[in-house]
Structures are given as structure tokens and as C-alpha cells.
Structure 1
Amino acid sequence: MNERDFLAVRFEEHRPRLRAVAYQMLGSLSDADDAVQEAWLRLARADDTIDNLGGWLTTVVGRVSLDMLRTRRLRRESPLEPHLPDPVVSREEGADPEREALLSDSVGLALLVVLESLSPAERLAFVLHDMFGLPFDEIAPIMERTPVATRKLASRARRHVQGAVPKPDPDPAIQRRLVDAFMTAARSGSFDDLLAILHPDVVLRGDSADGMTVLRGARVVAGQVAVFHRMATVSTARPAVVNGTAGLVNTIDGDLISIMSFTVADGKIIEIDILSDPGRLARIDLTGLEP
């Protein structure tokens, strides 16, 4: 094995963590892959011996992700309203190590949506420190700030996140029971049955080709029962795990039409996220759902 091959092997050992950092920074699987590829290209060009390869690669991916976020802002590529990040979808039965590696604890779509509203610097400080445990003296050089300033950014981001993201029930059985009840109510077209399983403060986010729609409140969301009924009666719903919580993958004649993620808290559905943009759905990897 030559030196480059040995370097490639060592890089692959770090790839899952690097991809997770980039995904949680960018909310896009394709952008995360681009950031990781850039890290490999920079490593391949590096002349000096790198003692702490993991730290060096994390620094590179952090800087690349930060630059990508800033470029989005400058080009106004990000919508004024938050958009749904790319979902990570896997089967209920059996863990998928590659997909699980993308997610730290409780990194559901709800949290990623909130992270979209942070500034690039706040998001980097929060993700690297609160999700990946990097000390502020290692994060600060990435951002070209002092450790004190970096700590303040993470603290500001933390205050923004706290209270904005409901704490989900960790029991998969409870989550699935509520999702099954949602589908039963949708199939029957029952407003009352749907209302009974929705949290009073439920939020529904729908990301389609026409943009983002946000509905708030149990009666408002239950008022969409006719839409849910039509979806439930014309499509096939396959149970799945979406960013660590119970979800559904909906198809018509084998064609993917939507991915739904549900957040359950206090015995009720408190958030529903629906991605139905055909262009984005076409880029989602669903190989983990194959029998």
C-alpha cells in the first residue's frame, strides 16, 4: 500500500463523522458530500504531516461548511422562511449504521429547521460544541474568533433553540402508535379523530415545489383532513424512521410523492413535517428501505 492509499484508508475512517458535521451544518446531503469531498482534496494536497488527522479534517469541513452557508446568504439561495432539510430515511427494523452516523442524539427535522434560522457562525458554534463536543478553543480558529466570542455565539444559538424544539418522546412504540392513529383518522376522513391526537400547539410544515407552508394549532391542522384523506386513499404509506423519529414514505404506483416525519410529545403529535417537492425527493436515497 502506497502513501496515498494509506491516507485514503485513514480518511475513510473519519468520513462518517465528517459527513455528520457537514449535514448538521448544511441540512443538505448533497452539500454535505461536497464538503467532505473538498476535505479529501485538501488532504491529498497537504504537504505537511498531520498529527491529529481527525481534528484537522473536522476543521476543514467546518470551514468549508461555514463558507457554503455564507455563500447561500449572499446569493439569497436560502428562502426567507425556513425550509425542510433533506430527511435521513431508514427502515424501522434493523439499524442502518451509515444513516445513523449522520445523526447525533435527537437531531430530528424539527431541530434542523430551527438551525436554519441561525446565523452561519451561530450554527457552526452550536453544532460543533453542543452536538459534537468540540471545545471552544478548537472551534475558535475555524471562525477566526476568540474562544470567548465563540462561546457567546454558541450560547446565543442555544437560547434560540431551547423552547423552540419540542422534546420528543423517545419510545418508538408510542411514536408509531400515534402515526398509525393519524393514518387511521386520515383514511376515515374524521376531523374529530384527527383533532384528538394533535397537540394544541401542533405545527405542520409542508415543503413543496411551490415553497414552504406552515400551519399552527390543532384545529387549523385538523382542518386539512380532506387533504390527508385524499393522500391516504390514493397512495401507499410505508412506515419508516425519518431523522430518528417515526415517519412515512408515501408512493403512488411506486413513485415517491412525499416523506413525512412526526414529532410526538406528551402523548400527542406536536410537529408534522412533509417534504413533497418532486425535485428534492428525486435526490433522496431510499435504498435503506429496500426489503
Structure 2
Amino acid sequence: MLTLLLFLTEMPEVLSIFPSRTLELQTTRSWDFLGLPRTPQAALPGIAIPTGSSDVIIGILDTAGIWPESKSFDDTGMAPVPARWNGACENAPGTNASVVVHCNKKIVGAKYYRAGLSPNASIAYSNPRDFAGHGTGVSAIAAGMPVKNVSMEDGLAQGDARGGFPAARIAMYKVCWGFQCYDIDIVAALDDAINDGVDIISLSIGDDPVVYSVDSIAIGAYHAIERGIVVSCACGNSGRVPGSVTNVAPWIFTVGASSIDRKVTP
């Protein structure tokens, strides 16, 4: 094994070799509070958005994939997918027709990665379909179409749900299984997202900071930035504890939760 590693390190196309770590997941009124527009047709300050849709594609690396039947991903009125897009919808051969993930003009791509899993691992869906809700939720938060009269469970926080940029397209890269995400899959998905043609990459994934040379997200994000792709990551779920922020590379937008003018009471 050592001989093989030494051989690989001498190859010009190999940047570095490091052990694959296991990372963890991070995770409606917010957009009103921030002053972002309510409809896909509305323009952000200084940005003109074509009626019904935009050519901006958000690549989302997440856990459970995406549930394409959600109303948040309705593509009614959207223009055709940009010709520059190189992505695809991928489903394992023999996937049951009832759970196959189909793309449309809103969800323009959906891929899955399981190299970090044991071949005998028990999983819910061996394709980009969501099994826990995290990926669908993150996608809808970023670019979900407006959906009226939604609530949590029995009417809690009832209102209209919408994404921050409803006109954008979504490309899902499912890199986590059982709420664990493997470096080997994250790197592969970042490479695909860059080559597929996304404009923004979003990751709600992280762990304790490590040096950049063995940080899969930092390395992949650097290559994305070189191609003009914005990378946004969650900062972590550890609360107000010194040194608890994850995804600390200076070329990444690290985003944390904060307080807004809303109180939810049962």
C-alpha cells in the first residue's frame, strides 16, 4: 500500500493524498426579514431576473438527496434548462419506478455518491431520493418556489414557504448516508458540480476544523472559486462555544444562524 501511495503522489494529476474523514450534517420568515423578494419574477437589487426563471444553478451537496415531487420544485413557467448545463439525473439500474428521481426545469440534476459506504450497508434509497428531509429542506430554503398555506405538523408556524432565490435552478449531489458524509464522496461531488456547470455550491456539512491540506471541503471549494463559483457552507451546530465554527477556509462564505423578529409558540 505504501508503494502505491508513493507512486500516486508522483503523478502530475494528483494534488494530494489524505485519509477520508467522516463529516456530519449541519443545519420562512427569514427571507422577509432579509428583505428578499417574494416572487421568482421579482428582481434582487441590481440584478435583473427573467420572468419565471433564472439561469443561476445552485449545486447542493447534502444528505438525503431531494424529494422532487415537492411543490417547492414545481417548474411551471420556467424557461428551458441552460444549454451550458452538463449535469444529469442518475438512478441505479433497477431502481423501483416509484422512487426514481426525475429532473425538470427546476431540478436540473441529481446525483448520488456512496464510495464511503460499506457495500453491504442498509440504505433507504440507492439513488438521489431523499430519505430524511434535510436535503429537500436545504434545497427549498435556497431556491424553493413559493408554496402557500404550509405549516409544521398541526399548524405550527403556518404561512407561505419560499426559497431565498426562487428563480434559481437546483442540482442535488447526495453525499451523505445515515447523516454521515464521507470525504471521498464529497470530493467526487465537488469535482462533478464544478464540471457540470453550477454557479453556486452550498454545503450544510462540516466537522472540527483541520489544516486545509487535508480538508476536503476547503480543497474542493478552492478549485470552485478558481472557476468563479461561489461556495457557501454552514458554520456548525455547536452553539456559542469558542472555536466551534467549522468550514473556516477564508475563500468560503461561512454562514451561521442568528436571531430574527419571530417567535414560534405552540
TM-score, length-scaled by structure 1: 0.24
TM-score, length-scaled by structure 2: 0.25
Give the structure with the higher percent helix: 1
Higher relative contact order (CA 8 A, sep 6+): 2
